[in-house]
Amino acid sequence: MTSVYSKHVLPNGVRIVTSVLPEATSVAIGFWVDVGSRCEPHSVSGMSHFIEHVLFKGTHKRTAFDIAYSMESLGGSLDALTGRETTVFLSRCLPEHLNVSVDVIADMLSDPRLAENDIETEKRVVIEEIKSFEDLPDEIVYELLAKSVWNGDSIGRPILGNRESVSGFDSTAVRGFFESYYAPRSTVVAAAGNVDHDALVEHVSEALKMPGVETPASKETYASEIPRIYHEERDSAQCYICLGTLAPSYLEDRRYATILLSAMLGGGMSSRLFQVVREQLGLAYAVHSSCEFYRDTGLFTTFLAVDPEMKSRAVASVAGEFKRFKKNGLDKDELEGAKRQLRGSLILGLESLTASMSRIARLELYLGDYYPLEKSIEMTLAVTEDDIMEEAERLLEASTFSLVTVGPSPDETLTEADLDF
């Protein structure tokens, strides 16, 4: 399907971007706000995620039920997500119901009740969500790694916050944070699918009246309690392991080399780590590498879950593959295979309207610009073997890595010496 990209900036600063596919049978729309856990003072850790929740509790003309029923009754969906740097309210619907999605989300962002009783109720809900998260060691290990790698930077703070911080929220704090960050100039409305760009611009301009004026620019630092080598005791059947280091940002072109490197190391069943750690050694069911990119930083991670008695051997096998990669370089046709893999995943991924909508929103938020998928593919295909090896030397530097484990504590303790690559 061929899409047509358009952009319009409203007088108040709200940016509206669309990827129009007339032959699509539905629409994905997202209201993206340039705020996430990174923006929060330590005392209100989790506030961005909490506000995402409490906006669903009702507006001055819609109850919580009205909001939930608005799209479900039409066969559509309404959801929201909070990240480290963004919060998004999104909907999937039929084209004839797009105005309903816009009206409901715009009302949530423009005129929320933020009533004290709703805040007290939702505090209990979010604390239960935090408890649920704490029961998932495979999630906890990622959070601990982020704290360790981004030591002292607020981007490593937990998105959900913690029980203590959430317990202290009140309507004054919630409303103050909302009115500071939910500003028109911090908002991108993105839509992909069977959508009329001009009609969407007109409707958003009428419906969205956000109260915020200016987004504070400061990012608070804090003292991280997670060192480079860290173990958290848990009564679990497996030991969950994360190795990670800083990666390039979303704004750096070398991220394409990072993505390809990650794919070759642990991006699928044919990757080096899968073949060695799982297929040859039988140490793990799950083993993979991944990367995240943000405005001025990124994160490269390798994850695996193993028998607690095997954690030292498992880490040694990962370190051994990192070392072999840096010493021996790429295997024959390995880079071309990774490029085909990434090209295919990019093309197949954008068959999802939600993925297409998310792509144009992130391009606008991070770059203030748009380029077609073909350019992303072109930049991927342009990566050379020398680029990969330069990135491997830069990224796979043991002294910069953190090693975090969650699970039982066998007799053997991991140390910096285990990061031998």
Phi, psi torsion values for 54, nearest 5 degrees: -70, -20
Which residue in 23, 40, 52, 416 is the catalytic one?
Answer: 52
* Strand pairing report for 187-193 and 15-20: parallel
Specify whether the CB–CB gap between 302 and 223 falls below 8 A: no
| Nearest to 406, CA basis, from 139, 159, 130, 133 | 139
List, in sequence order, every beta strand (DSSP E) within 12-113: 15-20, 27-33, 77-82, 87-93
Tokens of residue 280, six digits: 């040859």
As a whole number of Å, the end-to-end CA separation of the chain is 45
Greatest alpha-carbon pair distance for the chain in Å reads 66
Going across the sheet that includes 15-20, the strands are: 4-9, 15-20, 187-193, 27-33, 87-93, 77-82
The C-alpha atoms of residue 364 and residue 349 are separated, in whole angstroms, by 19
The C-alpha atoms of residue 154 and residue 219 are separated, in whole angstroms, by 7
Coil, helix or strand at residue 26 = coil
In the residue annotation, 96 being an active-site residue is answered as: no
The C-alpha atoms of residue 372 and residue 369 are separated, in whole angstroms, by 10
List, in sequence order, every beta strand (DSSP E) within 112-259: 187-193, 229-233, 239-247
Phi, psi torsion values for 319, nearest 5 degrees: -60, -40
The C-alpha atoms of residue 169 and residue 405 are separated, in whole angstroms, by 32
Specify whether the CB–CB gap between 227 and 288 falls below 8 A: no
Coil, helix or strand at residue 340 = helix
What residues are annotated to the active site? 52
